[in-house]
Structure 1
Amino acid sequence: GSISISGLPPFNGFVSEFLIYYGAFHGLTLNGSSFIFTVLAIISLAIIGGLAAACFSKVVGVVFLGEPRTEKAENVVEAGFTMTIPMIVMAAACLVIGVFPEPFVQACFMGLKNIKVLTPIGAEEVALVTGNLALAARLFLGIFLFSMLL
Structure 2
Amino acid sequence: MKHSVQSVCLLTSLSLYCLLLTVGEGEGQFVPGRCECYDTKTTVRGPLSDLKVMLKGPTCNTDQIIVVEKRTSEPVCVNPKGPLGKQLLRCWKKGGGVDVKKCLRRKRRDKGKQGQNKQKQRKLRGKSKESKKRWTTPNPALG
Same fold, judged at TM 0.5 (above): no
Classify the TM-score, shorter chain: under 0.3
TM-score, L = length of structure 2 = 0.25
More strand by share: 2
More helix by share: 1
Instruction: Choose between structure 1 and 2 for higher RCO, CA contacts under 8 A separated by at least 6 residues.
Output: 1
TM-score, L = length of structure 1 = 0.24
